[in-house]
Amino acid sequence: MGVEVPRFMAKAPVPLAFGTSGLRGLVTDMTDLEVGINVAGFLRFLRRAGMIEAGCPVAVARDLRHVDPKSGLVSSPRIAAAAASAIEREGYRVINAGTIPTPALAYFATGRRTPTDDRWPGPMPAVMVTGSHIPADRNGVKFYRPDGEVLKGDEPGILAAVAEVRRALYSATASSSAYDSEGALTSPSPLPPVVPEAARMYVERYTRLWHRSDRPLSGLKVVVYEHSAVGRDLLVEVLESAGVDVVREERSETFVAVDTEDVSPDEEAHYARLVARHGAHALVSTDGDGDRPLVVDETGRFHRGDVLGAVVAEWLGADYAAIPVSTNDAVELHFARTGGLKLASTQIGSPYVIQAMNEARTQGFTKVVAWEANGGFLTGADFNVGDGFLTALPTRDAMLPILGALFSAQAADDRRMSSVFGRFPDRRTRAGLIDDFPRARALAILARLRPAGGEERIAPEVERCFSAIPSLGTVDRMNSVDGVRIYFSGGDVIHFRASGNAPQFRVYVVSATQERADEIVKLCVRHPDGVVYRLGDLSLACD
């Protein structure tokens, strides 16, 4: 049995759960010790798997979460330094990629660039310090193998290595430990100077798709909602290189949590006002770490990532796409009508769509892509785009879908982005989120909803929990690939899912009108009598 409390600490730390998205937790729980344990465990796993050698470089980058507003603790800069310290103690060399988007770090570290681009050796593992879209009092660490994202099959080996490191570090004495009684490094070291090539290579991945003199997006005026997105300056640079008239708005030095899966009506109205104020063709942005896009058309309408991904797939000329089960059914309906693209539905999360892309290549598909409902777009193959060559980047990226939407709008007869999205069936969506929702309760709700014995129906007592939503009709079919997705005879779809790495419960709704989708989400997440809470009370009563 392992040591539960380090010998040099008065209280036990809070171990962070390690998953395919890395670590997520409160900043107060992400001590230097806890970060160091997990980084060291990840590197030991890679070494034992033969993926790295002693002394190899390891790239580190971070987002712009400077301070936890609740505790006052330094957030991403401190966590990045703790990760770097662990890397050096394990005998590897730290490469500081600076403050750049997660896909930029992945592109730099995995060596996914043109054969003639040898300015920096690759591949190498990477550590990205980011909480992505979650609130500012939390943060996270995402890990990359030298060949790409951590996959589900890696988890057992990583967890075993993390447990081994934890036992060793917990056994240290106060005099021998590198950490103090609060879990902070006793002698923190600054990171080495930033390597600018990481940001530069990411920018050039896109700008080499056109000749600068051509300015292919000339004539488009686009608002860039900057907030605290780590890639805001890189996004502006790429767009201006393509000839876009960029209007910068609302830059913030304080972290702003932007969740592209949970854009509220008030937020959408705000984006629409910015578009109208400037007479812009579009508004674009990303989440905090630049792997999820936000795209608003000239009418002020926000377009969710699932339909945005379909636009980009068509722009690239893809022949295969892996999409999560939560995707708007407008995508399936559209490609059933137009043909030319094989769709595969997976569990929610990049490891699952990456696995599907890998399998597609073995089946003979050559233009393989994937995307998620949050808009993050993955390329599992190289593409010829415009005058350039786009190398594969099988991790979520926000820059490519933004460009795909703008290039598609530029090519439309009326140069209106709304016309591009207007080609899809008009199925409106809304996502709702309940934060600080106990995971045990979330899982109990899903267990109550999940059909037994393969029957696609819900129990009468469960059905009564939906009584506040008018005109749902009866259950047509159900899907429990990831969470529970219910298709009702009235045409509405409601998908319930527990977050895999945060105490959150999500509800995805697809309906014929935006008002209907908004209303169903509100009736599902409303406290204390919404559908989710009624299901939760029922589940507790049945335990």
495 with 508: CB under 8 angstroms? yes
DSSP secondary structure letter of residue 74: B
132 a catalytic residue: yes
Spot the catalytic one: 76, 132, 285, 408: 132
DSSP secondary structure letter of residue 222: E
For 110, the token pair is 């995995």
Backbone angles phi, psi at 128, to 5 degrees: -110, 125
57 with 28: CB under 8 angstroms? no
Q: What is the CA radius of gyration of the chain?
A: 23
Q: At what angle do helices 439-449 and 531-542 cross, to 10 degrees?
A: 90
- Which among 87, 96, 66, 82 has a CA at the least distance from the CA of 31? 82
Distance CA 85, CA 117 (A): 30
What b-and-e string marks burial along 397-415, b requiring 16 or more CB atoms within 10 Å of the CB?
bbbbbbbbbbbbbbeeeee
Q: Across the beta sheet with 504-511, what order do the strands follow?
A: 428-435, 504-511, 493-498, 484-488, 475-479
12 with 140: CB under 8 angstroms? no
What b-and-e string marks burial along 79-116, b requiring 16 or more CB atoms within 10 Å of the CB?
bbbbbbbbbeebebebbbbbbbbbbbbbbbbbbbbeee
- The residues annotated with a catalytic role in the active site are 132
